[in-house]
Amino acid sequence: MNTRWVAMVLGGLFGAVIIAGLYFPILKQRVKQTAKIQPQSEEQARRELTQPLTANPTETRVQARLFWASNAHDGSLAPVTIDLPLSSEPSLRAKQLLNTLLAGPSDPQLRTLPPDAVLLAFYVLPDGTGIADFSEAMASSIPSGIESEQRAVDSITRTLAANVPQILRLKILIHGQEVETLAGHLDLSGSFAVNPRAAQATTTMEPDPLASLLNPWSIRDELPLPLTPMSASRQTYAATTPEQQTNLR
């Protein structure tokens, strides 16, 4: 009985060795293939999500100008020309540009926007105001200070001005809400000029429809002046014949 049990154990071990010998080369090859695939960082994953979608047949490739920090590291911005497939529709075009701006330049030190910030939505109002809705990281991750906050907004407005002429001004929201400041310094209660000349021309050509209600004199100026009624003596004089007028004199 013991001899039979030992033979069975040895046979099982021998079979396991043979199976392991056959499977080991396959396992080794799979390990090598896995080692070649580098783990994707959070930054790489975010860039893939925020990169513009594959170009549609209706989209044309454009030499877009995006503004990041200058190599001089003096706080100024410098344009970088990038070949991008952009939509002709202003809202989608602006979203594609800002997503590329968020992805950052090749040199991370020249970045103007937080790496973890995400553009949630972008749309353009009929008066030319662009509404950019960013995630909370836009306010919480940006270095606090008027210079860094102003540079971030300037990079957005100058990028839009260079590529989307339909946008005249920009309003920034944080997670769908209006906030007082970007990170404690730059005022976000109003809007930022994108194309001030076009905005001024539009304001000049399109008067405020409420002006006539607030200024009644403007309505009176547009109406014809009433005729001054003639006095009774003047009416009588005008109705007489020349001979009668001579006698009236």
pLDDT band at 200 (very low <50, low <70, confident <90, very high): low
pLDDT for position 247: 52
**Confidence check: pLDDT of 216 > 60:** no
CA 104 to CA 40: how far, in whole Å? 17
**Confidence check: pLDDT of 184 > 80:** yes
Contact 87, 62 (CB under 8 A): no
Q: How many CA atoms lie within 13 A of 188 on its CB side?
A: 25
CA 187 to CA 114: how far, in whole Å? 18
With a CB cutoff of 8 Å and minimum separation 6, the contacts of 69 are 75, 76, 77, 78, 109, 110, 111, 112, 151, 155
155 CB-contact burial (10 Å; exposed 0-12 / middle 13-18 / buried 19+): buried
3-state secondary structure of 206: coil
pLDDT for position 199: 58
pLDDT for position 144: 82
Between 172 and 220, the more confident residue is 172
Q: What is the residue extent of each domain of the chain?
A: 57-205
pLDDT for position 188: 93
> Is this structure's pTM higher than 0.75?
no
Tokens of 82: 């990038």
Q: How many CA atoms lie within 13 A of 61 on its CB side?
A: 5
Supply the angle between the helices 90-103 and 146-163 in degrees, to the nearest 10: 140
Of 184, 179, 82, 78, nearest to 134 by C-alpha is 179
Contact 104, 111 (CB under 8 A): yes
How much of the chain, in percent, has pLDDT values that exceed 90? 49
How many C-beta atoms surround the C-beta of residue 98 within 10 A? Answer: 25
